Structure 1
Amino acid sequence: MRRIIGQSLRIGVAGQAVSLARVSRWRGEPFTVLAEHAIAPSAEHPFDAIANALRALLGEQDVGGWPVGIVLADELTRMWRVTPPPGATRLDDMEAAAGLRFQALYGEAPSAWRIAADWNATEPFFAAAMPRALLAVLELVAREFKLSVVGVEPHFVGAWNRWRRGMKQGAWFGLLHDNLLTLAAIDAAAKGAGAQSMRAIRALPVPAGADAAWLTQTLKREALLLDMPPPALLQLCGGASAGAAGWTRAAGASQIPCEALEHGRHAAGAGLSMAALLARGGSLA
C-alpha cells in the first residue's frame, strides 16, 4: 500500500474486535476503514486472542513501514487520580504514589501494568495503566508486520485531548462507546488551565433503555459521591449507544442537558461499526 505524506494507520483494539484504518491529515479522505476482524473470545488467553485477530487483520494488508497509532478500549485500561505525597520531589515518589493508589482502587499489583501520567509533584494528577502483557503482544505483532508504533493510548485519553479546549464552564465531559460511558467530572471552580480541573474519571456501563432521566440520576449520584455540585451540562462524544438516542434532545426542567460535541465533519463517524469508531478514536483527522 503506497503511503502519501501525512498519512498514517490507526488500530482499534477491544476485547471483541480489532480494526485498521488509514488517517490522512492533508489529502484524500481523512479517515478510511481498511479492515475489521472479530475476536474469538478466550478467557484463559485473551491477549493471545487479540494478537491472533491482529495477525489475521494485518495479513490482508500491505502495511510494512507505516507508522501506526493504537487506541485501546477503555475496558482494557485503568485511569485514576493520584495525590502526590507531601514533600515529593522525585519521579520515584510520584510513581510509588500512583502504584499504591492503583492497588488500593483495583486490588491488583501494579507490576503487571505499565503506568503513564502527567507527573506533578505539587498537584493531583491523573494516571493511566495498560496491561504489560497486552502491550507486549501489540509490540510483537507490530514487529512481525514491520509497523512503526508511534503511540498507544486509552480511548478516553485521545478523546479528552481532542475536545478539552472546547469544554464549557460548568460542564462535565463524557465519552460513550459500546454501552460504556466514561465520565470526566470537572471542577469549574478549581484554578488551572481554563479555570477547570478534572476531579475524577468514572467508567460506567450503560444499561439497556437508559434515557435522559437515567443520565441525570447517574450524574447527580456521581457528583454526590465526589462531594461536588452536579454539572450544568454533559458534553458528549463517541459512537451511538442503543440507550442514548434521546440524551441530546431538549431536557426537561429537572434533567441535566446533554450536548453532542461532534458536528459536521467530526460527526462523520455515523454508520461506522464500534470497532471502526474505536480506531477513529481521538484522531483530529
Structure 2
Amino acid sequence: MPRLLNRLPGQALRIGVSGFAVSLLKVSRWFGPKAELLAEQPFSPEGVSALHAHHAIGLALRELLAGQDVQGWPASFVLADDLARMWQVTPPAQAARMADLEAAAALRFHSLYGEPASGWHITADWDTRQPFFAAAMPQPLLATLEQCAADHGMAVVEVQPHFVTAWNRWQGALKADAWFGQVHDNLLTLAIIGGGRLHAIRALPLPRGADQYWLAQTLKREALLAGLDAPQLVQLCGQVPAPLAKPAATAGQISCSVLGAALPGEEKWSLASVLARGGLAA
C-alpha cells in the first residue's frame, strides 16, 4: 500500500465518506498533481442501519488508513449528501441572539425529520434578518471521524456535506439568477435561486435517458413549487450527462452550462473518490 512522502507546503488530505466506501486523496495547491488517489476501501452496507452506519464507516476508515503515513497531515472529510441533512430556517421575529437562531433551526429540523436535533451537529449561515440554510451531520459519525483522525495523528480541518463543498466552490461564479446544481451518483442536487438568494435545495433522481427536455420540465416544475420564475440558465457541476449540457435551442428554453472540468485520470475514479474531490478546483 502506498505511503506518503514528507508533506510539502499547500498539501493536504481529503477523505470521501459514503455509505458504501471511503476514499483517500492527497491534494496539492502548488506542487505536483492537484489530486492523487492514494487508496479506497469499500464496505457492504447490508444489515447496517442508518443509526449505526458510523460503526461500519469507522472500520472501513481504519482499514483505509492502515499503512498510510498520514501523521501530522491536515485532513478534510467530504460526506455523501445522504449522510447529512440540509434545510431552510426562518429566523424568529426580533431574533437577536445566536441561541434564538439555534433554537429555530432545531425546531425546524424536528418538524421536517420527526426527531430531535440533539443527536446532530448543526452548522448554518446564521442570519437574524432573512431565511438561511442549515446542514446537520450525525454526532456519532463526527465522533468516529474525529477519533480515527486522532488515532492516526491527522488534524481535522473541516467536515462538510458534498453539496456544501460544491456550493462554496462555485457560488461566486454563478451568473445573475442562474440556478445551480451538482450531479453525483445519478442524483441532481439543485439550488433554487431567486432575487439573489438561495430559496431551496432539492435532491432529484436522474432518470435513465435524462436530457435537456427533462431538465427544462423539471426546473419549470420546481420554479412553480417555489413561487419563482423559471431560470433562463442552470449551471451544473459534477458528473453531468452530455445530453443535459446544451445551450437553449430556441427562445424561452432553459440553457445549461457545466462548471469546472475533470482532473486528469478522474474518469477512472470510483464514485467514492470523486466524492473526496468535492469542491476542489481543477
Judge same fold: TM > 0.5, yes or no. Answer: yes
Aligned CA distance change for structure 1 residues 96 and 267 (closer, same or farther; 3 Å): farther
Determine whether 1:260 maps to 2:258: yes
Contact 2:210 2:243 (8 Å CA) reproduced: no
Q: 1:112 aligns with which of 101, 109, 119?
A: 119
- 2:34 aligned residue: 30
DSSP-derived class of the 2:228 partner: coil
Between Structure 1 and Structure 2, how many residues are aligned? 274
- 1:153 aligned residue: 160
DSSP-derived class of the 1:159 partner: helix
The 5 Å alignment of 1:1-285 reads 1=4, 2-41=6-45, 42-44=47-49, 45-187=52-194, 190=195, 196-240=196-240, 244-253=241-250, 255-263=253-261, 269-284=266-281
Q: In structure 1, what residue type is equivalent to 2:97?
A: R
DSSP-derived class of the 2:267 partner: coil
Q: In structure 1, what residue type is equivalent to 2:39?
A: A
Q: In structure 1, what residue type is equivalent to 2:175?
A: K
Contact 1:239 1:277 (8 Å CA) reproduced: no
- Provide, for residues 87-132 of structure 1, a one-character-per-residue CA deviation record: whole Å limited to 9, x for no partner: 1011110001111111112222111111001111112111110011
Q: Give how far 1:251 is off.
A: 4.2
Contact 2:247 2:257 (8 Å CA) reproduced: no
Aligned CA distance change for structure 1 residues 232 and 133 (closer, same or farther; 3 Å): same
How much is the aligned-residue C-alpha RMSD, in angstroms?
A: 1.7
TM-score by length of 1: 0.91
- 1:193 aligned residue: none
Gaps of 5+ in 1: 191-195
Gaps of 5+ in 2: none
TM-score by length of 2: 0.92
Contact 1:212 1:255 (8 Å CA) reproduced: no
d(CA) in 2 for partners of 1:6 and 1:164?
Answer: 23
d(CA) in 2 for partners of 1:281 and 1:105?
Answer: 27
Aligned CA distance change for structure 1 residues 177 and 267 (closer, same or farther; 3 Å): farther
- Provide, for residues 210-268 of structure 1, a one-character-per-residue CA deviation record: whole Å limited to 9, x for no partner: 2222211211111111011111111000125xxx33101344436422110114x7687
Give 4+ residue runs of structure 1 displaced > 3 Å after superposition.
Answer: 250-255, 265-271
Contact 1:115 1:128 (8 Å CA) reproduced: yes
d(CA) in 2 for partners of 1:113 and 1:228?
Answer: 32
Percentage of identical aligned residues: 54
Q: In structure 2, what residue type is equivalent to 1:259?
A: S
DSSP-derived class of the 2:166 partner: helix
d(CA) in 2 for partners of 1:157 and 1:15?
Answer: 18
Q: In structure 1, what residue type is equivalent to 2:72?
A: G
d(CA) in 2 for partners of 1:211 and 1:40?
Answer: 32
Q: In structure 2, what residue type is equivalent to 1:43?
A: V
